[in-house]
Amino acid sequence: MTPDPVTAPTTVLLVDDQPLLRAGFRMVLASHAGIVVVGEAGDGLEGVREAERLCPDVVLMDIRMPGVDGVEATRRIVEAGLPSRVLVLTTFDLDEYAFAALRAGASGFLLKDVPPDQLVAAIASVASGDAVVAPRVTRSLLSAFARDLPEAPQPGRDDAVGSLTEREREVLLLVARGLSNAEIAAELVVGETTVKSHVSKMLEKLGLRDRVQAVVLAYEAGLVVPGRDPQL
């Protein structure tokens, strides 16, 4: 009988300007065998440097920091092409900084008072390539800060969406509506594995990292109007 392969632990970098918060998160994560905190940083600039040096699976990023804040640090990590995914931390659920971080490439956001089990689950989700902000919450953010969205579709967005098959475009709009894979499968009367395949191909064609960015693109491409459901 072949033994099960050993799964490598998820590596995490903590970036927060408050040492006590970093210590608290480290203590919570240290109690889980599947997660290893490989480093800490006290500001965004140091966070970027440590992300480049350590290449952690997940960067747990404070959003509001003096100097280089979490938004700019997220943008630099994403633009550097690092494999690390960024999970931003905020005090408020409707935070313009969190919204900006999503547009900069973050894979989601969490409130700082998140329960430990949800924090661990979120890190695991992000490390596996998913997004931890429920699409409905992302849409609420986008609607709340619609003033920051372009008035016209962004150049190249139409071309990117045009590269999708009819089914992939349908999946994109359902993702933008806030449906989970299971809900999309029920809507399209297909298997959830098929939906995962469509989502993966859709993200690959659009050059996106996860579902959060897909929702942002749907807004920027004019496929979704804040406050209204997208039309299939």
Q: What confidence score (pLDDT) does residue 232 get?
A: 43
* pLDDT per position as a tens digit, 142-175: 666 655 554 444 555 556 788 899 999 999 988 8
Contacts 24+ apart (CB under 8 A), 148-154: 148/96, 148/99, 148/100, 149/219, 149/220, 149/226, 150/220, 152/222, 153/220, 153/221, 153/222, 154/220, 154/221
Say how far apart CA 192 and CA 142 lie, in whole Å: 27
- pLDDT, residue 105, reads 86
What pLDDT band is residue 3 in, cutting at 50, 70 and 90? very low
pTM, full prediction: 0.74
Distance CA 199, CA 232 (A): 16
What is the rounded distance in angstroms from the CA atom of residue 199 to the CA atom of residue 120? 24
More confident position, 118 or 52: 52
Q: Which two tokens stand for residue 103?
A: 């547009």
Sheet with 85-90: strands ordered across = 35-41, 10-15, 58-62, 85-90, 109-111
What is the token pair recorded at 166? 């009819």
Residue type, 93: D
Are 217 and 160 in contact by the 8 Å Cβ rule? The answer is yes
DSSP 44: H
pLDDT in tens, 93-138: 667 787 788 888 888 888 888 889 989 988 988 888 777 765 556 6
3-33 burial code (b ≥16 CB/10 A, e <16): eeeeeeebbbbbbbbeeeebeebeebbeebe
209 pLDDT band (50/70/90 cuts)?
A: confident
Check pLDDT > 60 for residue 21.
yes
